Chain A
Amino acid sequence: MFDGRDPVYLQIADQIRQDVLSGALGAEEQVMSTTQYATTFRINPATAAKAFAQLVDEGVLYKRRGVGMFVAPGARERLLADARESFFTDTVDPVADAARVLGIDVEDVVARLRARAATPAPEGDHP
């Protein structure tokens, strides 16, 4: 758990973003409190609080005074829009770069994408 090279609070924020994106955390759903998060994953509460603060700034979560943190309405849509925006730069562009290096024709890549899109998605399609 949390053994990447990024600061732990970024990893936590990322995980919550993924949960919102995948629908595991729905809109208006309450997320774990800082204390719950800290004890569950045995991390410093300040670290968890930092992750939550970032997500509040981004509008993914919002705070209800005295109750806790909730997923903001429309958070998933916003995250999806962001992800779509970065999809081409983060995912497609490297493919094109790699294809050029390997001498693969772009048309072959496009054909592969079409074929792949036509077959049903396999179970548990997660990295």
Chain B
Amino acid sequence: MTQDEYLFRFDALQEIINIGGGNAATSLSKLIERKVEMEVPTLEIMDYDQIYQEIRKEDEVVKAVLMNIVGDREYGVFLFVANPVNAEKLAQMITPTEVELTVELIDSAVNEIVNIIVHSFMTAIMKIIDIKMVSSVPIMAEDMFGSIISSVYMEQEQYDQQILIIKNEYYSLGHKIEGSLYFVPRPGVLELLLQQLGL
């Protein structure tokens, strides 16, 4: 592959992630009835040390929600990551004020939010690439970021020291509420997406 072809494919992938992510931001915004902003998607090969320095420290405790994406084959997973305080704020926004929030309620509200944004992400992508995909029910964990991210990549058979980080970063109310949505593909899935686009 020439440098130009490589860059072209890279741009195409970033555009897909941008469209999916933008759609997800819109549905999140409707859900919480507030403006939601999204940064330019990250599409970058990084090693773990770099991830822990530049994205999030490995011992930072996070709430993470995972959804498996399947169809004719396993495509990978979406992983939503937020710090527990932000997750609680998100949950509050979609819960009637008179309801007292328990841990179970917070978790189920966050799961539902992730369910909705992942669906809108996928719907947007499926329109472009014409592949049928469905998602599994969301699964939540609260643990160290390092434990979560390394295990998720490993489970998707991404065994390299250097991994491709595909991530959308959302924020609302200035930067008071932030969350990240990762897509971790199985090997060969990105190539398949590009093929569908004729690239």
The answer to whether A and B come from one shared complex is no
List the interface of chain B (C-beta within 8 A of A).
none
List the interface of chain A (C-beta within 8 A of B).
none
